[in-house]
Structure 1
Amino acid sequence: MPRDILILAYPGMQPIDLAGPFQAFTAADEEAGGGQYHLRVAAERAGMVAMQGGLPIVAEPIPRRPVDTLLIPGGPGVHVARKSERLVSAVRRHARTARRVSSICTGAFMLAELGLLDGRAATTHWRACDLLAREFPSIRLEPDRIWVRDGAIWTSAGVTAGIDLALAMIEEDLGAALAAKIARRLVVYMRRSGGQSQFSMPLEIQDSNSFAALMGWAEENLHLPLTAEALAKHAGMTPRSFHRHFFAATGSTPAKAVERLRIDRACALMETTRLSNGAVAREVGFGSEERMRHAFARGFGVGPAEWRARFGA
């Protein structure tokens, strides 16, 4: 029997939170020869639903019979949706019987409203983490995760992380090879594990204009011993002053920033080349495969070998 996937629709939901997973599951069904997934988009009331930005979608009524997977998208409208007794009651009914219940982005607020995240590990879009933590302090929030699974409850970060969540579910259902094929079909740069960070160090540094040029130089010279002292000298500052100002501007120590740059480059090389792990480690400035392995464990919770097996070329 096909696995029924119910995607909740409500006014003000984010379009990509629906479209991304919908496309991933649809492509997986096609690649598997059909009969694996049956998707439906349902709302509190059948008919036209205006998503964020006014984009309309036609939704069917929420079914009575149980579904395999319940998926709650995010969007600014979730805070009104989670106060609808009728909608919350319907979501609660399906959450009791579904094999897995999931949220994308701020859809986590709906799960939290139902008490489904009490005492559980969960994540959401980084911009909403503080609000979720304040309103629902019993959640074991993991703000720097792409997606989190705690038992039958899955939550993900914002926007494109919904595709990562869907790919993880497809892998669970149909195997890693098919999930990798779907990632390639969707032209996803990298099928990211749940342990990966929501944040890109180069993008974070670019947001802090004061050190963007310095980190650009560091990215081009990862083979050098980029110590805090070397960075401070290049920036024309004393080491103590540099460390203080860098942390204030980026929220990261210089050493951690350089490590993240090296990890990002290492991932890119493993994604696009067949260089050995040792060669990658030397290319990006780790020096040895062992040092790179420790950095990957800190950053992703897995080693380079496991990362390459899952996401590499």
Structure 2
Amino acid sequence: MSTVLITGATGRVGRHVVTGLLAAGVAVRALVRTPDRANLPADVELVVGDLYDPSAVRQASVGADAAFLLWPSFSADGAAKAAQWVRRQRAGVGSGAPGERRRPAAVSEGGAVVDPRAGHRGGRRTRAAGRAASATYWASLVDTPEPVTTTVTTLTGRPALTFADWSAEHADLFRVPSTQELADRYVAAFRAGRFDAALALTAPDLVRVAPLEGTELVGREAILDNARRLNAHLEYVGVELLGPFVRNDQFAVRFTFDERHLVTGARSTTTKLSLYTVSQGRITHEQVFYHSPPPG
């Protein structure tokens, strides 16, 4: 089985390449900076490293039969020469006089050459060269913009939106919601049983204080772990909400949970009032006041 090294495997293009290669029965190796956040299929071999680190690229390339490097242009001009040059480098023959032996080199996404023995300083030079080339390319678009295609019209049956029209159509996605809007979305998510959507409206470092539980928790994961502990023996049959009641940067919601004990089958209700604080369009703080004792 052949092995293909993928750079940018966690990006939009790279993920499709990974999926396609795995489906074709090809072994996939991915060069990633943070393996714990890569979220790639279990069959993918993860190699820790940065594309700008020559030693990491060299190590990741050992035993690979091919590599996927994102071509930096919409045009294929120059691709043949680049492919020929890469083949010569893999053979250990540099770009000088015919037959002249060179040290092996790795190729970055922008086509820059990185000598595996150059060390960190060489990596910095390559990064700077890549940025300079990118700046030159983007500057050239002022006078010679990329050609406009008809792909959108062909696929959708209507002309593509201008950036101004698209921005107006999607403005709400970029606007920070008011406390009232956020509170309405939060309550609507709970009523629809979309607890994941409700959680998405909270800040990652959400603080939850519940005196009767004896807890002050920071972070979504800690809060979810606490909920799983409290509700380990309960099944929620339903929930009634009253609110939201909004004032300035805070809103309150009363929850009444209809519960069934998984062991005894006994039904019970738990009522609580949660006071939320909002900042920058996210729920950042929750204070929980129980009308009846908390579960567990």
Q: Give TM-score, length-normalised by structure 2.
A: 0.26
* Structure number with higher relative contact order (C-alpha < 8 Å, ≥ 6 residues apart): 1
Structure 1 or 2: more helix by fraction: 1
The structure with the larger Rg is 2
Q: Give TM-score, length-normalised by structure 1.
A: 0.25
Structure 1 or 2: more strand by fraction: 2
